[in-house]
Amino acid sequence: MPTLIAEKTVKLEFEDLARRVSLIGRPAKPPARAAGVHQSGILQYVAQKIGVLKPGESDEEDCAVYPLIWGLGQAWEEWIFSFYPDIDWQPGEVTIDGISGNADGVSLDMDCELDSVPWDPIQTVIEEAKSTYKSTATGDEFVKDPKWWMWRMQGGAYCFLYGAEVVRWHVAHLRGNYRDFGPVYKQYVLRYSPVEIRQVWTMLISHKHLAAAEKGAA
């Protein structure tokens, strides 16, 4: 189980808009994926088999099933990363063992004072932007609750692909905590051990052909 480094709710003020750096570089159409299986497809397959998703249920980020939700996620990614010019946005797809993944961003210059927990990043940090209708989570819930399982596994997969151990999620909780009005921006930061990263990758490899076969039969 990965270790929670920090979590915090980020309060954006109107004056923060002045420091945005507009992003350029996303192609007009999604680029073609590499040949082979994408890690998201394998994770969805496994999630259905272990009960994280119901049989036939899709993750809310599945653009083929929920194109508007996916579009909101793309807009959030481009907007929130415009506040972090040191993030290498859309670093490019990586394929290992016939499994591909495309992180939203990577950085070496992450804020070292998240929630007053100092740390020194010594290698690549995976930066992921998520827009979700799920309620806000505590750090403990983010690490343990099954509803965040796919995100945690995706983070481990990206660590393997990009040579990292730390993932920071920039999450727009569109419905906040379901009690107060308005969306909430939270960050969750997890560190994966080399053993945990290898376990995630081994799981992906062991289910790669099963996931591909099921998708081909659909």
Strand extents, DSSP E, the chain: 3-9, 37-38, 88-89, 94-96, 99-101, 105-107, 124-132, 164-173, 184-191
Residue 78 has pLDDT above 90, yes or no: yes
Residue 65 has pLDDT above 80, yes or no: no
**Range with the lowest mean pLDDT among 34-38, 68-72, 144-148?**
34-38
Instruction: Return the bridge partners of 107, or none.
Output: 125
Q: How much is the pTM? A: 0.90
Residue 33 has pLDDT above 70, yes or no: no
- With H, G, I as helix, E, B as strand and everything else as coil, classify residue 84: coil
- pLDDT recorded at residue 86: 87
Domain map of the chain by residue range?
Answer: 3-12+36-217
| DSSP character at residue 33 | P
The architecture that CATH gives domain 3-12+36-217 is: Alpha-Beta Complex (3.90)
Q: What is the pLDDT of residues 14-23, one digit of tens each?
A: 888 888 988 8
- Provide the Cα torsion 185, 30, 190, 72; round to 10°: 20
